[in-house]
Chains A and B, each alone.
Chain A
């Protein structure tokens, strides 16, 4: 469905997106993960046609998206990070306006609005000005506005940023329902748990490059059956670096002044590892053990946490 090949976008000396390639299949929720500034929004803007890439191709159902004009762009729905609504309008007026821009009118738009209001749970407050809505309600309406014209591909750019856990939970439910109705979704986030819950396939991007791409299982293979051991405290750097020589299968992932990160197979016992740390003169302030997850994949690939 969506095919991106060798996409590159530069801002003067900064390469925001560096020869990335991936494919989103019909009907799937594809996760696009990365920390802030990784290049996610730039990629989305290139897909939308709002930014012209320096090189590479983007096709949607074999139609070129770069310079494809309004006709191709209308196949897309975008839900930006920020709430993009007119606060003085009510939900119906907002949806009427956005639908109108895509040529919807008459009974078609009315029934579409009703469907979306039902889907997002806003039907009973549809005639109230948006300025009176809670953050979660605004987010849901924001999503409805992006879907008013029944796009073939919906781009969700961190739609849950800044909302409370309950509203976030509702939002994820809504996204699942949308996907169940057959809409293809490219879901951008820096919350690994959201990606784990929603996405069948995903790509991890950092500094404009794709670090990992595949199904959740395939990506988790990167860390395998390894746990991540993060130690914070006082230690001798050279001793910390030589520790993997003393323990088979222990891998040093990153080391900083007061923090060191190792990967340790599940079969190895934590007690043995701890004993070795103490023998090596570690004064441990904190030890965190992370089970294999997308988060740990990101840490293994980049040496830092996703939200750093």
Chain B
């Protein structure tokens, strides 16, 4: 008789499949979306090309130095520099043709030689958020480096400055002296500069074994899947109220008794959850290129049995406590979101404050996600998630038993 009740609910879903398909499509869609947003990129490290205009009103060795610096190999990957005529920069900025405009004032090089304060002007495009900021930070670093360079080369600079002021040429002896001073300076800095004392070694994980993208998708999918399953179960639990509203409850209770009816409904909800779980993975595995073996599929199936029992228990208890559909529909999503947030379905647990991380264990979502990630991403054996299975199994008993009892009491009233 229980099977007949379950079969009826399944047939009802098959007759109107749109809602059910939406429930299944939801986790795949969200995992795909999040994977695309947060997954690794195929292209190189370059994030953005900052279009920068330079108005050089000085035309000195110092202004040429800045323009050349932007054109260097490293900076050239990040900046696209266009020298413009005096006064032409601002109209181009207003037309949105660049992210920043650097104005080098007249007398810039002369001020540096005399170690007088001098200001560069940076005009940022207000319509952009990141690119002008990158330009600003880079120029600040260059100014800082320029300051240090001027301080280091004070001796040779003084000689040049005197000659420029007196408008006389350097003698051969003075040139030789400057060369020796500069050589000694470079020699002193040699230990720091060639090679630099601190090196940044950046590297990427090896792409040969598993696909990064598939791993990220699988990782995200676990979180999204558990949360979506909870929402699916929430929608399925509304069936208790549907039967009441559809007036089919009394007739069923009369034919079957309350206990059988409640058991059949919960089994239907559980089975539907299992089907959703299976279908999501069947779609996700080829879609995201997740590497699977028959052993992994078997492990997932075993884990799904316990996971769905735990999740069914949680939502069914909420609905057993709810006095009406509205109450259930208001409370259940709030609990789901709370558990999902706490369990790391929305934001990785590692990004959360310590006290929230320590609270995660009270969320069934945490146990579900963590175990699935271990199975799928780390290819862990079932023995590694025994604790998860035990916790979810315990939750299933703790929640399902009272929910059957409460539903029975509610329906008998």
Q: How many contacting A-B pairs (Cβ < 8 A)?
A: 58
Instruction: Given A97-B4, A101-B4, answer yes or no on A78-B16 (Cβ-Cβ < 8 Å).
Output: no
Closest partner residue, chain A, to B5 (CB atom) = A101
Q: Does B255 contact A (CB under 8 A)?
A: yes
Of B41-49, B246-254, B291-299, the segment with at least 4 beta carbons within 8 Å of chain A is: B246-254
Query: In the complex, which range does the number of interface residues on chain A fall in?
Result: 20 to 34
The smallest C-beta distance from B203 to any residue of chain A, in angstroms, reads: 58
Does B8 lie within 8 Å of A86, measured CB to CB?
yes
Please indicate the chain B residues that have their CB under 8 angstroms from the CB of A70 in the complex.
255-257
Query: In the complex, which range does the number of interface residues on chain B fall in?
Result: 20 to 34
Please indicate the chain A residues that have their CB under 8 angstroms from the CB of B257 in the complex.
69-70
Please indicate the chain B residues that have their CB under 8 angstroms from the CB of A83 in the complex.
247
Report the bound CA distance from A256 to B13 in whole Å.
56
Closest partner residue, chain A, to B253 (CB atom) = A50
Encode B209-250 as 1/0 by CB contact (under 8 A) with A.
Answer: 000000000000000000000000000000000000011101
Does B4 lie within 8 Å of A80, measured CB to CB?
no
A63-104 CB contacts (< 8 Å) to partner B: 69-70, 73-74, 76, 78, 80, 82-89, 93, 97-98, 100-103
B14-73 CB contacts (< 8 Å) to partner A: 15-16
Does B251 lie within 8 Å of A98, measured CB to CB?
yes
Report the bound CA distance from A52 to B258 in whole Å.
13
Most chain A Cβ neighbours within 10 Å, of B4, B5, B16, B252: B4
Report the bound CA distance from A89 to B247 in whole Å.
15
Q: Does A146 contact B (CB under 8 A)?
A: yes
Does B254 lie within 8 Å of A97, measured CB to CB?
no
Please indicate the chain B residues that have their CB under 8 angstroms from the CB of A80 in the complex.
247, 250-251
Please indicate the chain B residues that have their CB under 8 angstroms from the CB of A48 in the complex.
250, 254
Identify B251's interface contact among A69, A78, A87, CB under 8 A. Answer: A78
Instruction: Given A70-B257, A74-B255, A97-B4, answer yes or no on A88-B247 (Cβ-Cβ < 8 Å).
Output: no
Q: Does A145 contact B (CB under 8 A)?
A: yes
Instruction: Given A70-B257, A86-B246, answer yes or no on A97-B251 (Cβ-Cβ < 8 Å).
Output: no
Encode A38-73 as 1/0 by CB contact (under 8 A) with B.
Answer: 000000010011101000000000000000011001
Judged by DSSP, the binding face of B is helix
Please indicate the chain A residues that have their CB under 8 angstroms from the CB of B250 in the complex.
45, 48, 50, 78, 80, 84
Q: Does B187 contact A (CB under 8 A)?
A: no
Instruction: Given A84-B248, A86-B246, A86-B248, answer yes or no on A73-B8 (Cβ-Cβ < 8 Å).
Output: no
Does B15 lie within 8 Å of A50, measured CB to CB?
no
Please indicate the chain B residues that have their CB under 8 angstroms from the CB of A74 in the complex.
255
Most chain A Cβ neighbours within 10 Å, of B5, B12, B16: B12
Does B247 lie within 8 Å of A84, measured CB to CB?
yes
Does A49 lie within 8 Å of B254, measured CB to CB?
yes
Please indicate the chain A residues that have their CB under 8 angstroms from the CB of B1 in the complex.
101, 103
Does B246 lie within 8 Å of A101, measured CB to CB?
no
Report the bound CA distance from A102 to B4 in whole Å.
10
Please indicate the chain B residues that have their CB under 8 angstroms from the CB of A89 in the complex.
11-12, 15
Does A85 lie within 8 Å of B254, measured CB to CB?
no
Closest partner residue, chain B, to A84 (CB atom) = B247
Closest partner residue, chain B, to A45 (CB atom) = B250
B310-345 CB contacts (< 8 Å) to partner A: none
Instruction: Given A85-B248, A86-B246, A86-B248, answer yes or no on A93-B254 (Cβ-Cβ < 8 Å).
Output: no
Identify B254's interface contact among A78, A87, A100, CB under 8 A. Answer: A78
Most chain A Cβ neighbours within 10 Å, of B8, B11, B257: B8
Does B248 lie within 8 Å of A101, measured CB to CB?
no
The smallest C-beta distance from B19 to any residue of chain A, in angstroms, reads: 12
Report the bound CA distance from A78 to B255 in whole Å.
10
Does A101 lie within 8 Å of B252, measured CB to CB?
yes
Most chain B Cβ neighbours within 10 Å, of A83, A86, A87, A103: A86
Q: Which residues does B use to contact A, with CB under 8 Å?
A: 1, 4-5, 8, 11-12, 15-16, 246-248, 250-257, 412
A-B contacts, 9 of them at CB < 8 A, read: A73-B255, A74-B255, A78-B254, A83-B247, A86-B246, A88-B15, A88-B16, A97-B4, A98-B255
Seed contacts A80-B247, A89-B11; 4 additional CB < 8 Å A-B pairs: A48-B254, A86-B8, A101-B252, A102-B255
The 10 A-B residue pairs whose C-beta atoms are closest, nearest first, are A82-B247, A101-B255, A84-B247, A88-B15, A100-B4, A84-B248, A84-B251, A97-B8, A48-B254, A70-B257
